[in-house]
Amino acid sequence: MKQLVALTVFAALTVPLSNTTCASEPPAPTIDGIVVSGAQKNLRVTPAPGAETYSFYSATNASGPFSLNTNFVLMPYVTGYSTNYTTNGAVTLTNLAYEWRNTNFTANSGFFRMSATHVSSNTTAGATVLNRLAYGPTPDELELYGNNPQAYIDQQLNFQGIPDTLNGYAVEITNAIPSDPTTNWTLVQITGRLNTTNLYIYMTAPGGVFIDDIQLTDTNGGPNLLANGDFESGSVSPGVLSGGMTASYVTNGLAHSGSYCLRVQTAVAGSTSGNNLRIPIYTNSVTYSNNSPIRLSFWYLPGPNSQKLTMRNGTGTSLIGSAGGIPPTPGWVYAQTTGRASTTSAIYIYLSGAGTAYVDDMMLVAGTNAGVGINLLQNGDFEAPLSGTWSNATDFTNSTISTTVAHSGNSSLQVSATAGGAGANDAIIQAVSPALANNGTYTVSYWYAPVTPGVTLTVRLSGSGLTSTPDRDIAGLNRRLENRFAVIGDYRAWFCWNAVNSPRQLLEVLSQFWENHFVTQYSKSRDYLDNIGYDSTMAGILATDWERREMTRWRNAMLNPNCTFYDLLKISAESPSMIVYLDSVGSRGDGTRVANENYARELLELFCNGVDNGYDQNDIILMSRAWTGWSVELVDAENIDNPFAPASVTYYPNTNSTSKGNTIGVWTFNFKPGNHGTNRGPIFAGKTVPARFGPPWAGQSYQLNIPPRATGSTNGIQDGYDVINHLANLPFTQEYISVKLCRLFVHDDFPNPTTIADHPEYAFYDYTNPDRSPEAELVHQCMLAWENSTPKGNIRAVLSTIFNSDLFRSHTAHAQKVKTPLEFVASAVRALKSTGTNDAPTAFTDGFSFATPLGRMGGMNLFDRGDPDGYPETAPGWISAGTLVERIRFVQSFLNAGTGDDAGNHTCDPVGLLRKKLPSGSWTDANAIANYFVSLLYPAEGAANLTLYRNAAVNFLNTADNGTTASAFSSQSAGTQDTRVRGMVAMLMTFQRFQEQ
């Protein structure tokens, strides 16, 4: 038989639409081969991107005429068999591929053509836009923007105009109990080791405070080693005032006990060497000696400057006492939650760990309206003793009624935990009487004042049908982050929650991009702080705050439409976590010391120029000196933005303050002039921009001369700013950052640029070559936008260039990228996230649930990347058999609401979604349901290309759980239908195509 000949004809019939440009047509389908078996002709074809339909034409002569042949149908053929392992043991599976088959083509020879119609260019661009500017489309966004990408681009490029109501919270600053300055005396009591010389009393800053009844005794409270510690003689004698402290005097009328107290006031900061009150230690009558255990106690009246008071025994650090400031008025948070009761009518109040919190004005009412109706709790306002109404179990036996803190009335519940609670038998408990209706709907509401950082409150009814955790919702997370009360898990949850839910999706995508570009490592910061003397929990809280503060600054900077790359770079350079991460913190260039090169290297290689792009090792060495002195320090909170501020000496009251762990201040960027080295030559000496850049850059000198600055002067800080100011707009930086943004938004294949002429990338980015690739041209356009924007380096100008490029809007970008783990889990939730009946979300995550899956999908531990190149943006870093297993397990857990921790605390309701989106007549229609979810999960793939996925979905719905028996979906019970829809959606989301974006 004569061999058939296949002709391939490209006939891409795109539907013209306004608004969007899509210059490059997608590749056309091709016929790769023909298998002939009698009258059966099997065409094996390469599909075309976005194909809605395929049409086949046949002729018996090569010259035609070709006529439409509708007899070709898509059919499977067997390619082999493979054995796979399932829960029921090994099964042999038939491996199939698909071909277009015509069974009645009887002519001896034939010629075939095929053509395709495509989804509209708007649909293609719409899918790309929702997958790149956002963490994947939601069903509602797909309806709004799936065919109108320009509207989404315009909206997201101006994300500061999108209301963000998610993170808001309100705190009511109140303490119902009025404070009385005359009765507000506060006791400080610490222990340490005796120094037999003197007790020094001074202020670490100008100011004043009242003190009284100073006692230095043995640890059992024996005789006072100070004479006249109560100042009842009417003078400071035998103490001696010196320097600025001579403005202090003993006064009567405001004493803690007796008639007199000491009014300390000074206009000069003191120390043990002057401007102090020196009280001799009276040891004649007792047998104390140096280093005996000793206790210091004194009373002070809290005031605006009282935390500057320091008492020091001798000049060493064996015993240092300090006072606190005015105690903060409790910030009361209102919380309410509706849920269902169980058979046991008990309400539990507990904390997640050892610590303290206050609760007041708690109401439990029937129905869904908080505070409306009869309060089913007794003593919910905590105005009466706990006994008889509330019981304290196990770790909460120290809980009590507080008469110094209250939201209303005269008292509140002080929740005191020695360890984390659990509810029944380990909480503050009330058995609600009369009993609640089992499964009845109730609403709890209360006011809550947190105290201990990192400890969270839970109020719940037995059975967990009603659980209130005001610290873990998004507003509570935000509140605790801003109060520097949060641990890294809280911050990750806040970040992931916003990635899924924020309407400012581009801001979220860019936040992760810059965080990952200017990468720092939470655990390195934590270990640094841990070594200083904080316990591991506090070190973690402080390290979390560093990560949050740099992110907050980036997000605020990006909200400004004129945000430049320099703005973002500066924030990174000043971030304490960066200073610790790349070892500037202890780097010294003074004298003959060799500066640490780490930050200078990565600044060039990873943050600005890109590796080997315009610099050499010598430049790194020279530049490393500019960063000497860039360090971190603990300063008073008001100095958080002052890099020259002195170290804070403000301590929590009532602590022996020799440990950093007792300090109150804030760790921040601090310049240490003594570490700074000024001796350096010009950086990039004699270098000019290579020819490949073309105009306006080629040939320009970019030598950086840092002017001489006085050794040991605070002016030395300017060296660092000179460096980043110079780097921020170098053509190399413009190029490398543009390349990274193109990789993020367009596709992976933008290689790193280089100035080394014999590397192949040099020619790839030769902007003088008229035949340069579309990728090189897009980078070039980004650089021009950067160069010509006002102000120069405007990030939105670069983004706008990318979003309006043909490359981005065409099939060249669509579905060309693989989701990172974060993009994968966020897009999985978003794909099903709408609002169902009763305002219930059809997909939900609490944000915390992402941490474990992200770790498993390739170690994507947010804010804790070990290597300074950040997490990969491209596919090979994430995709291997092991990580795919984790992705599949996540999706299956998420959809099937199963047990285990693969998906964490998620919920989803795909049936709720389809009931909202489809007419009721379709709710039991397997074809309609399959069509809906296929189009939802694979927008712009093209209906013809999705035929087999759609068939698989329909088959899944119409097949019993054994995987083989036919079982019509429409005739199943609601419960079975729900299970099948979940399983079918899970299956669609485990397919390869859902890994793409």
Min separation Cβ 643 and another protein, Å: 21
Stretch that binds another protein, among 11-19, 48-56, 482-490, 723-731 (CB under 8 A): 48-56
Phi/psi at 766 (5° precision): -90, 100
Among 151, 884, 918, 943, which residue interacts with another protein (rule: CB under 8 A)? Answer: 884
Instruction: Give the nearer residue to another protein in terms of CB position, either 97 or 424.
Output: 97
By CB under 8 A, the residues from 77 to 96 that bind another protein are: 79-88, 90-91, 93, 95-96
Stretch that binds another protein, among 180-188, 562-570, 716-724, 944-952 (CB under 8 A): 944-952
Given a contact cutoff of 8 angstroms between Cβ atoms, the answer to whether 136 and 827 are in contact is yes
Instruction: Give the nearer residue to another protein in terms of CB position, either 50 or 912.
Output: 50
Min separation Cβ 760 and another protein, Å: 5
Among 815, 911, 913, 934, which residue interacts with another protein (rule: CB under 8 A)? Answer: 815
Please return the burial class of 765, using the count of CB atoms within 10 Å of its CB with bins 0-12, 13-18 and 19+. Answer: buried
Given a contact cutoff of 8 angstroms between Cβ atoms, the answer to whether 957 and 984 are in contact is yes
Min separation Cβ 181 and another protein, Å: 50
Q: Which residues contact 94 (CB under 8 A, 6 or more apart)?
A: 78, 81
Phi/psi at 716 (5° precision): -60, -25
Stretch that binds another protein, among 46-54, 346-354, 726-734, 776-784 (CB under 8 A): 46-54
Answer yes or no whether residue 810 interacts with another protein by CB under 8 A: no
CA–CA separation, 72 and 42 (whole Å): 9
Q: Which residues contact 929 (CB under 8 A, 6 or more apart)?
A: 914, 918, 922, 923, 953, 957, 969, 981, 984
Q: What string marks each residue from 576 to 595 as x (binds another protein by CB under 8 A) or -? A: -------x--xxx----xxx
Given a contact cutoff of 8 angstroms between Cβ atoms, the answer to whether 184 and 404 are in contact is no
Among 41, 601, 625, 676, which residue interacts with another protein (rule: CB under 8 A)? Answer: 601
Q: What string marks each residue from 190 to 209 as x (binds another protein by CB under 8 A) or -? A: --------------------
- In one letter, which amino acid is 145? Y
Instruction: Give the nearer residue to another protein in terms of CB position, either 164 or 996.
Output: 996
The b/e string for 892-913 (b: 16+ C-beta within 10 A; e otherwise) is bbbbbeeeeebbbebbbbbbbb
Answer yes or no whether residue 27 interacts with another protein by CB under 8 A: yes
Residue with token string 């035949």:
771
The token duo for 494 is 């806040």
Instruction: Give the nearer residue to another protein in terms of CB position, either 267 or 763.
Output: 763
CA–CA separation, 13 and 50 (whole Å): 11
Instruction: Give the nearer residue to another protein in terms of CB position, either 394 or 598.
Output: 598
By CB under 8 A, the residues from 960 to 979 that bind another protein are: 961-963, 979
CB atoms within 10 A of CB 758: 7
Min separation Cβ 93 and another protein, Å: 5
By CB under 8 A, the residues from 527 to 586 that bind another protein are: 583, 586
Instruction: Give the nearer residue to another protein in terms of CB position, either 77 or 644.
Output: 77
Among 878, 932, 933, 969, which residue interacts with another protein (rule: CB under 8 A)? Answer: 878
Answer yes or no whether residue 991 interacts with another protein by CB under 8 A: yes
Min separation Cβ 960 and another protein, Å: 9
Nearest partner of 724 among 518, 562, 864, 521, judged by Cα:
518
Instruction: Give the nearer residue to another protein in terms of CB position, either 304 or 866.
Output: 866
Instruction: Give the nearer residue to another protein in terms of CB position, either 479 or 817.
Output: 817
By CB under 8 A, the residues from 736 to 775 that bind another protein are: 747-749, 751-752, 754, 756, 759-761
CA–CA separation, 146 and 138 (whole Å): 10
Among 4, 43, 48, 742, which residue interacts with another protein (rule: CB under 8 A)? Answer: 48
Among 866, 968, 970, 974, which residue interacts with another protein (rule: CB under 8 A)? Answer: 866
Q: What string marks each residue from 290 to 329 as x (binds another protein by CB under 8 A) or -? A: ----------------------------------------
CA–CA separation, 939 and 8 (whole Å): 27
Among 97, 424, 435, 437, which residue interacts with another protein (rule: CB under 8 A)? Answer: 97
Instruction: Give the nearer residue to another protein in terms of CB position, either 346 or 603.
Output: 603
Nearest partner of 149 among 164, 135, 132, 162, judged by Cα:
132
Min separation Cβ 749 and another protein, Å: 6
Min separation Cβ 810 and another protein, Å: 12
By CB under 8 A, the residues from 891 to 920 that bind another protein are: 892-893, 895-896, 898-900, 902
- In one letter, which amino acid is 749? D
By CB under 8 A, the residues from 611 to 670 that bind another protein are: 611-612, 617
Instruction: Give the nearer residue to another protein in terms of CB position, either 180 or 867.
Output: 867
Nearest partner of 175 among 407, 447, 381, judged by Cα:
407
Instruction: Give the nearer residue to another protein in terms of CB position, either 556 or 880.
Output: 880
Stretch that binds another protein, among 304-312, 352-360, 447-455, 882-890 (CB under 8 A): 882-890
Sign of dihedral through CA atoms 542, 548, 554, 560? negative
Min separation Cβ 597 and another protein, Å: 5
CA–CA separation, 800 and 159 (whole Å): 13
Min separation Cβ 207 and another protein, Å: 38
Given a contact cutoff of 8 angstroms between Cβ atoms, the answer to whether 427 and 349 are in contact is yes
CA–CA separation, 420 and 353 (whole Å): 4
Instruction: Give the nearer residue to another protein in terms of CB position, either 48 or 125.
Output: 48
DSSP string, 823-880: HHHHHHHHHT--B-GGG-BSEEE-SGGGHHHHHHTT---TTB-SSTT-S--SGGGT-S
Among 889, 910, 913, 977, which residue interacts with another protein (rule: CB under 8 A)? Answer: 889
Answer yes or no whether residue 948 interacts with another protein by CB under 8 A: yes
What are the beta bridge partners of residue 203?
309
Total binding residues toward another protein, as defined by CB under 8 A:
114
What are the beta bridge partners of residue 359?
413, 448
CA–CA separation, 359 and 347 (whole Å): 14
Min separation Cβ 681 and another protein, Å: 17
Task: Say if residue 65 is preceded by a cis peptide, omega within 30 of 0.
Answer: yes
Among 4, 50, 444, 514, which residue interacts with another protein (rule: CB under 8 A)? Answer: 50
**CA dist 953 → 99, 827, 885, 933, 980 (Å):** 20, 20, 21, 9, 10
Instruction: Give the nearer residue to another protein in terms of CB position, either 137 or 270.
Output: 137
Helix (H) or strand (E) holding 252: strand 249-252
Among 369, 880, 970, 971, which residue interacts with another protein (rule: CB under 8 A)? Answer: 880
- Listed in order, strand segments (DSSP E) in 451-583 are 457-461, 467-468
Answer yes or no whether residue 508 interacts with another protein by CB under 8 A: no
Nearest partner of 127 among 141, 146, 140, 143, judged by Cα:
146
By CB under 8 A, the residues from 208 to 227 that bind another protein are: none
Count of residues in the chain: 997
Min separation Cβ 742 and another protein, Å: 13
Min separation Cβ 43 and another protein, Å: 12
Q: What string marks each residue from 842 to 861 as x (binds another protein by CB under 8 A) or -? A: --------------xxxx--
CA–CA separation, 585 and 364 (whole Å): 53
Instruction: Give the nearer residue to another protein in terms of CB position, either 383 or 748.
Output: 748
Among 39, 53, 869, 971, which residue interacts with another protein (rule: CB under 8 A)? Answer: 869
